[in-house]
Amino acid sequence: MDNLETSSPSDPNRREFLLTMGSSAAAAVITGCAPLHPGEPHAVAAERSPGQGAVAITLRINGKDHHLRIDPRTTLLDCIRETVAFTGTKKGCDHGQCGACTVHVNGRRVNSCLSLALMHDGEEITTIEGLGTPDALHPMQAAFLAHDGYQCGYCTSGQIMSAVAMLAEAKAGWPSAATADVRRPFTVADLTGPEIRERMSGNLCRCACYPNIVDAIADAAKGG
């Protein structure tokens, strides 16, 4: 016991040291967050106008150019929904896990919540609003209606956008993880149930309408 060190007011222990450091850090943070007074160094940062730092981009959505000024941190999803007001594209997980936000960029399906809007300046973007109209449905939209490929409908726009792009991938001969023989060219005729489920695995349906979704896609695929 003689070898144990003892603490005294002149020899603070670890707990006292951490408490002192924590108080000092908190004071520094509070000071750093305090409003700057005009004329002080760095006061210009507090006087920046709301639009300062915005960037100019042109998004071609559903065949129409939209000339915008946006915060460079804005996702493609938020720009489509909040700025351009195409609300058919849904925000589900906001982490690229559910597929509800799927759109087409230059013909390829993209999770718009994982992509910055400024990355797509000048590119061709298609949302569910640009796929068909109530009077002239896209074949995939018609197939989803015919097969009841939805329930609450929240994921449906992403499901349809992904399915349309997936059929284009199949027509281009792209194999999938479910393709039995990748040495021969893939065709739409090879889109079996397991193939469709694998290729659509990035789109989740919380209502579990998967059997009807697969049937709808298979039906649409027959029409070419």
Average pLDDT of the residues in 3-15:
49
Q: Is 192 helix (H, G, I), strand (E, B) or coil?
A: coil
Question: What domains are there in the chain, each with its CATH number?
Answer: 20-47 (no CATH), 51-130 (3.10.20.30), 133-224 (1.10.150.120)
Q: Please list, in sequence order, all residues whose beta carbon lies within 8 angstroms of the beta carbon of residue 188, skipping any fewer than 6 positions away.
A: 167, 170, 171, 221, 224
Tell me the pLDDT tens digit for each residue of 97-145.
Answer: 999 999 999 999 999 999 999 999 999 999 999 999 999 999 999 999 9
Residue in this structure with the two tokens 């908190």, named with its chain if needed: 26
- Burial (CB count <10 Å: 0-12, 13-18, 19+), residue 171: middle
Indicate the average pLDDT of the chain.
84
Rounded CA gap, 131 and 156, in Å?
13
Say what the pLDDT of residue 16 is.
Answer: 60
Residue 136 DSSP label? B
* Tokens at 40, concatenated: 């002080």
